[in-house]
Structure 1
Amino acid sequence: MQKFIADTLHRLRDTLTGPHTIAFLPALCLGAYWFGGEHMLILCALVLPALAAVLNLTISTTPKTERATALAKDGLTGLPLPERLVASLDHILDSHAVAGKTTACLALEIDDFHSLQAMFGNTAGDHLLTNVAQRLQDALREDDTIVRLRGPRFAIALAPMRTADLETLIQLSSRIQMALTEPYPLNATKVFITCSIGFCTPNRAPSLSGQAFLDAAETALGDAQHNGPGSIRAYSPAHRRKPAEKSPVSTDVGQALENEGIVPWFQPQISTDTGEVSGMEALARWTHPKHGVLSPAKFMPDITDLGLTERLNEVMLYHALMALRTWDRAGFHIPAVAVNFSSTDLANPKLVDKIRWELDRFELEPCRLNVEILECVISISDCDTISRNICALKEMGCGIDLDDYGTGHASIANIRRFAVDRIKIDRSYVSRCDLDQSQQSMLAAILSMAERLDLQTLAEGVETFGEHAMLAQLGCDHVQGYSVSAPMPLEETQEWMERHKRKLAQTPRIGRRTG
């Protein structure tokens, strides 16, 4: 209502002080003289300017805060602040009885944004959010209000429209998703994203206020996210009757970590030369009693918030080395197991002693453990403890794998400084490499550099046999991905290795690059 009154005052002020009114002021005064004599002439000459002055003073003093809010922008995307969206919704809803038009509110969030940010860095994450904001503006009408709520979450207040029913909002949500699915250039690679959307229509809103519409849209968004990436959900009054459900991972993640609910699953790495298993990567998985198998993206934020990252690393290392010993005793020789170490793990001054003790405990040579380090860690790290730990692990005999290569701008000097043995080429360079000439050229350049630096290479995220074959022909040493096998629990690995051994005996080798 306040916005409606302010707009009315603005329009009245503009009418009284506009160029057309000023041009006809002499005629108005003359007409007043003809019809009312000198007294009406004096009244007209004094009252009109005085009224305009009062309106101008009122507008310039009372709505300062409102105008400042309307002009304030989000520092990253340049979008209005959330208060603008609520005010816009309130204005449309208040004028519905007169204008006969309504509105709706949508809330959307980029799926798994924090994993992308961790992989590519904060600057790249900010760049992605800016591009998303621009695409939303391009996809919607000029009068629609788009704001960034927080992080990767946005909200939209639709400009006045005749109908805002369920079908219309579903179609609009699908159009927004399509606009955001085109690839984004990020750190010299292409990134694909999805987004989940929740919306509130007028006939389902808990009350006719802008804040109620926004809250309902965010509630629907939470329901969409619970149903998986890329979901769309409408707000229903039934949502209010549901008790607030806690995150499936926030309440008992600590207990799961201590009770072996979170353990490594293993994904094979195979040689493109021989086809034999050249290693296994240990990937954290939580088999939740109610929500099934959860990947780290679902529980790592809670692990971090609870300060349990060091404990998770201990659990992963213990079970990975125990798996090696289990395979050895069963007659399967797996050269090495790879375990991921975060920058927090690597900054622990006791890390090297801890790893040495665990290797001795399982009577394993250090070369049986590959320490995986994200490229972004060594590309930006100036921590002396991290540098010392990596060098000490290398001297001890552990392999050093540079993970997600191509996303963190690691220099050749840093690759040498951290004594890297093998680079793991990121999935973004592998995707469709059998069909995309530019992908092949990029891979060829990476592999040529690695060969000259005497580095082993492993391509991760290999999902098709075509990609597998192309990587082998280009000279990549090892591959890992769903074309080989999905990650599996320890108890399934021996059966898989038996099948792989039988298949290897029957399948001709994939040819490698010649010359």
Structure 2
Amino acid sequence: MNRRISLRYILFVICMFAALLPTLMVSSWVQHQVQQNETATVHEKHLLIARNLSTALARYANDTAAIFSSANQQISLEHFHNDLSPLLKEINLYALFEWQQGRGQRFFYGESTLSIFNSVPAQVQVAMEQARANKNQVYFSGVVVEGVPQPTIFLAVYQGQDRFLMGALGTQYLLESQSEVRFGELGHVAIFDQYGRVLAHPNEQWSIRAKDLSGLAPVVLMRDNNFGVSEFYSPALQADMIAGYAKVENTGWGIIVPQPLTELQAYSLKLQRYAFFVSLLCVFVVGVISWYLACMIVRPISQVVDTAQGISHGEMGKFVNPKRWFIPVEIAALIAKFNAMAGEVYTSRTLLEQRVKQRTAALSKEVAVRKKAEEQVWQQANFDPLTGLPNRRMLNRLLSDALATRLETERVSLMLLDLDQFKGINDTLGHDMGDMLLQIAAQRIQHCILQGEHVARLGGDEFIILLKESGDGSRVAELGEAVLKTLSTPFQLGIERVYISTSIGVAFSPNDGEKIDDLLKHADQAMYVAKQEGRNRLSYFTASLQEQAQVRRLLANDLRQAVAKKQLHLHYQPIVDLNTGELLKAEVLVRWLHPSQGWISPSDFIHVAEETGVVVEIGNWVFSTAVAQLKAWKERGLSPIQLSINTSPKQYYEAECDVNQWLNELSEAGLSSADVVMEITEGLLMENSPVVNEKLLAFSKAGVEVALDDFGTGYSSLAYLQKFDIEYLKIDRMFIHNLEQDGDDLIVCKAIVVMAHKLGIHVIAEGIETEHQANLLREAGCDFAQGYWFAKPLPHDEFELMLSESSACLLPQKR
């Protein structure tokens, strides 16, 4: 979240920064310049003091050396005269004596009992050696404090024969010269001998002990330079110092004039404090002015903000009225524009309120319409629009609630209803009549249920009854019987009176499953059994049904590999001319030799192939194998035969089923379109699918004949027989099985034959098993027949033998 800061504070800070930055920069620059100038002045001053004092001490040393030389000459020529004593005393020479190696010392001046030293100090020895090297030249030794009554500098001159004239010079003059120079609080003068030992220093103890300060920076620098300025740290004062230094000619002495840096910076510090106070004053003045300017700018803006906030809270008619006599032009323009806008907002608000009142009334109507539409959407999403029953979605919710709230003593019952014969009625009478049938059926089922029981439509002609019950399940049996009875009652659809039945499958929870999908699946399996057992009945799900479903699943898995493993075989059943007995045709039938179950009938695996989609692959294999076999027979010169190839309706809906490919195979094999007949079921015609129609018309255009199998069991329209150029009708075996003279089945067969011949269609009777049946059909005018009376389906080698033996006629015989 961004942090918000008042404009007043922002302007104040900007003004303060803009005013103080130049002030601080100028103040810093001035202070720097002053400090640089002051440092240069101090350097010059301290160097001047050091050099002046060096000059004075040089004159003193020269005078002392001259007097000492005079005394040496006087002693050398004659004896020492006391008239030199005042002069020696004046220059602080407190003893004058002659020193000779092995003989000791002989005083000329000072008390003869005074022992200057018992052994010659090293610094005196250096001076004596220098004097020996330069006879009659006076040399000054380093300061000596051991064995002497006071810090002493010895003067030495060589007289010859290992005799030296020695003078003991006190440092009083040096101390007095040092004490006369004072500046500042801690500024002073320090004098050192040629070895860096103190000769004169404000610290009296250092002077008495001749403290060694040979490591001090100025003392070190004097070894190579005669004069200069240096900065160093003073151990005595424990402070950083600046010092001018200079050598004293002909003596090796050094002078430093040190002063603490803090004293030198006093002026700059004073100037810094002055600048600080000036800066504080500037801060105060600038702060007052900045705050005033910020308030002058921000306050009108704050009034605009407050007024805008009031307007946003509904306080219309408020305007900004600044009370200051001076307002910046830009702020005044902002206030004028804001007031104009506030006036427009007030006007717009008034108009908007009027419109809102009008719109509110309209919205009330829209809300009512939308609510009704939402209710309709919910109704459509959860209820079947045709029957008004709950749909699959609502059923899932009802079933979930029932399973979740089931007591331990209760069980949830799911009854799946499928209307028998509905498809035929829907196809023959039209979808409007089919919808009316579904509506009446839904009403009848609803009249059978009690409170707390539910009916739902799954889709198509399937319904679901959902109920809870306790005990032995008698309610399900009672309800199932009531539904079977009410749906077997005739339905009056306009002027049509139709009959249907229903097949019911029942599954219970928790016995048959506790999931919705499991219950629906098991109820569907039970309903499938009810249809297989003759329809119009109720079937309960059992474990054996699950086992049968498992068997079908395993069978489907094996069937997927049957073509690749060459387990499928073709059998051929002869079709003879009923009038001549001549073998003209044969129906191609597929058989499955399972590696473990042996021969499996098509009735046991074709429906599995259709469910799994393998039927397309099987159908392509059957066609290709039959065409190849027919080609082989022709090449061997066997009797001409026309093969009728069975096809499944499922094949024609799949893209993998390419009719043109079949026709190409036929042409590549050197066969004509008259060599094969494609058998279809009448249900395929009733679907009226563009895809199916296109494939069937392709047969017609290519000259391939089409036979309609199992005719009479469905509800085909005669219009389809003409539309698709059907050449053959095959009467289903259900009409042949009980065929008797003057029986109903014979009447139906005769009617089919007459109707077909009027349309130019040949008739083939299936399932003839007796000579009597063959004679009746011949008398009825049936063209062709097939059945066990003539021959059973034969493997290709046996059928090939039959072709070679009976090239003209196949006499009827029981097989």
TM-score, L = length of structure 2: 0.39
* SS of the residue 2:575 aligns to: strand
Specify the alignment match of 1:149 in structure 2: 458
Q: Write the letter of the residue equivalent to 1:157.
A: L
- Structure-2 separation of matches of 1:357 and 1:319: 13
**Does structure 1 residue 105 correspond to structure 2 residue 416?**
no
Provide closer, same or farther for how the CA distance between residues 205 and 425 of structure 1 changes in structure 2, counting only shifts above 3 A: closer
Post-superposition CA distance 1:335-355 (Å, at most 9, x none)? 321014554588644442221
Specify the alignment match of 2:179 in structure 1: none
Q: Write the letter of the residue equivalent to 1:155.
A: I
Q: Write the letter of the residue equivalent to 2:667.
A: R
* SS of the residue 1:257 aligns to: coil
Provide closer, same or farther for how the CA distance between residues 153 and 126 of structure 1 changes in structure 2, counting only shifts above 3 A: same
* SS of the residue 1:155 aligns to: strand
Gaps of at least 5 residues in structure 2 are 1-370
1:301, distance to aligned residue in structure 2 (A): 3.2
Q: Write the letter of the residue equivalent to 1:247.
A: R
**Aligned partner (choices 60, 81, 100) of residue 391 of structure 2:** 81
Provide closer, same or farther for how the CA distance between residues 421 and 242 of structure 1 changes in structure 2, counting only shifts above 3 A: closer
**Does structure 1 residue 448 correspond to structure 2 residue 757?**
no
Specify the alignment match of 2:214 in structure 1: none
1:486, distance to aligned residue in structure 2 (A): 6.7
* SS of the residue 1:87 aligns to: helix
**Aligned partner (choices 251, 260, 272) of residue 578 of structure 2:** 272
- Structure-2 separation of matches of 1:428 and 1:260: 33
- Structure-1 separation of matches of 2:621 and 2:456: 42
1:299, distance to aligned residue in structure 2 (A): 0.8
**Aligned partner (choices 664, 685, 693) of residue 353 of structure 1:** 664
- Structure-2 separation of matches of 1:227 and 1:234: 10
1:470, distance to aligned residue in structure 2 (A): 4.4
Specify the alignment match of 1:137 in structure 2: 445
Provide closer, same or farther for how the CA distance between residues 184 and 503 of structure 1 changes in structure 2, counting only shifts above 3 A: farther
**Does structure 1 residue 215 correspond to structure 2 residue 518?**
yes
Specify the alignment match of 1:372 in structure 2: 679
Provide closer, same or farther for how the CA distance between residues 387 and 489 of structure 1 changes in structure 2, counting only shifts above 3 A: closer
Question: Are the equivalent residues in 2 in contact too, given 1:348–1:385 (CA < 8 A)?
Answer: no
Provide closer, same or farther for how the CA distance between residues 171 and 281 of structure 1 changes in structure 2, counting only shifts above 3 A: farther
- Structure-2 separation of matches of 1:243 and 1:447: 41
**Aligned partner (choices 326, 331, 336) of residue 642 of structure 2:** 336
Post-superposition CA distance 1:222-273 (Å, at most 9, x none)? 478599934944466997x999888235545443233333444444434333
Provide closer, same or farther for how the CA distance between residues 505 and 371 of structure 1 changes in structure 2, counting only shifts above 3 A: closer
* SS of the residue 2:390 aligns to: coil
**Does structure 1 residue 459 correspond to structure 2 residue 765?**
yes
Specify the alignment match of 1:474 in structure 2: 780
Higher RCO structure (Cα 8 Å, ≥6 apart): 1
Provide closer, same or farther for how the CA distance between residues 85 and 450 of structure 1 changes in structure 2, counting only shifts above 3 A: same
Specify the alignment match of 1:197 in structure 2: 505
- Structure-1 separation of matches of 2:422 and 2:579: 36
- Structure-2 separation of matches of 1:289 and 1:477: 40
Provide closer, same or farther for how the CA distance between residues 430 and 72 of structure 1 changes in structure 2, counting only shifts above 3 A: farther
Q: Write the letter of the residue equivalent to 1:258.
A: A
Specify the alignment match of 1:408 in structure 2: 716
1:73, distance to aligned residue in structure 2 (A): 3.3
Post-superposition CA distance 1:299-333 (Å, at most 9, x none)? 123226xxx72x43331123323554677899985
Question: Are the equivalent residues in 2 in contact too, given 1:164–1:201 (CA < 8 A)?
Answer: no
* SS of the residue 2:458 aligns to: strand
- Structure-2 separation of matches of 1:109 and 1:74: 16
* SS of the residue 1:260 aligns to: coil
Question: Are the equivalent residues in 2 in contact too, given 1:339–1:370 (CA < 8 A)?
Answer: yes
**Aligned partner (choices 228, 243, 248) of residue 554 of structure 2:** 248
Question: Are the equivalent residues in 2 in contact too, given 1:271–1:278 (CA < 8 A)?
Answer: yes
Provide closer, same or farther for how the CA distance between residues 420 and 67 of structure 1 changes in structure 2, counting only shifts above 3 A: closer
* SS of the residue 2:384 aligns to: coil
Q: Write the letter of the residue equivalent to 1:148.
A: R
Question: Are the equivalent residues in 2 in contact too, given 1:264–1:316 (CA < 8 A)?
Answer: yes
1:70, distance to aligned residue in structure 2 (A): 11
Post-superposition CA distance 1:273-322 (Å, at most 9, x none)? 34554422223444455674434222123226xxx72x433311233235
- Structure-1 separation of matches of 2:662 and 2:785: 29
Post-superposition CA distance 1:423-456 (Å, at most 9, x none)? 3345677676648966555543432233344432
- Structure-1 separation of matches of 2:626 and 2:524: 38
Question: Are the equivalent residues in 2 in contact too, given 1:401–1:423 (CA < 8 A)?
Answer: yes
* SS of the residue 1:472 aligns to: helix
Q: Write the letter of the residue equivalent to 2:613.
A: I
Percent identical pairs in the alignment equals 20
Question: Are the equivalent residues in 2 in contact too, given 1:85–1:146 (CA < 8 A)?
Answer: no
Provide closer, same or farther for how the CA distance between residues 265 and 130 of structure 1 changes in structure 2, counting only shifts above 3 A: farther
- Structure-1 separation of matches of 2:751 and 2:570: 33
Question: Are the equivalent residues in 2 in contact too, given 1:433–1:440 (CA < 8 A)?
Answer: yes
Provide closer, same or farther for how the CA distance between residues 109 and 88 of structure 1 changes in structure 2, counting only shifts above 3 A: closer
**Does structure 1 residue 389 correspond to structure 2 residue 692?**
no
Provide closer, same or farther for how the CA distance between residues 162 and 421 of structure 1 changes in structure 2, counting only shifts above 3 A: closer
* SS of the residue 2:579 aligns to: coil
Provide closer, same or farther for how the CA distance between residues 321 and 147 of structure 1 changes in structure 2, counting only shifts above 3 A: same
Post-superposition CA distance 1:352-386 (Å, at most 9, x none)? 2221113x2xxx56533223345566674767964
Provide closer, same or farther for how the CA distance between residues 127 and 253 of structure 1 changes in structure 2, counting only shifts above 3 A: farther
- Structure-2 separation of matches of 1:237 and 1:388: 45
Question: Are the equivalent residues in 2 in contact too, given 1:80–1:146 (CA < 8 A)?
Answer: yes
Specify the alignment match of 1:229 in structure 2: 532
- Structure-2 separation of matches of 1:115 and 1:492: 41
Question: Are the equivalent residues in 2 in contact too, given 1:267–1:488 (CA < 8 A)?
Answer: yes
Provide closer, same or farther for how the CA distance between residues 67 and 338 of structure 1 changes in structure 2, counting only shifts above 3 A: closer
* SS of the residue 1:218 aligns to: helix
- Structure-1 separation of matches of 2:524 and 2:773: 36
- Structure-1 separation of matches of 2:628 and 2:551: 37
* SS of the residue 2:618 aligns to: helix
Question: Are the equivalent residues in 2 in contact too, given 1:266–1:490 (CA < 8 A)?
Answer: yes
Gaps of at least 5 residues in structure 1 are 1-60, 508-515
TM-score, L = length of structure 1: 0.57
Specify the alignment match of 1:55 in structure 2: none
Question: Are the equivalent residues in 2 in contact too, given 1:270–1:278 (CA < 8 A)?
Answer: yes
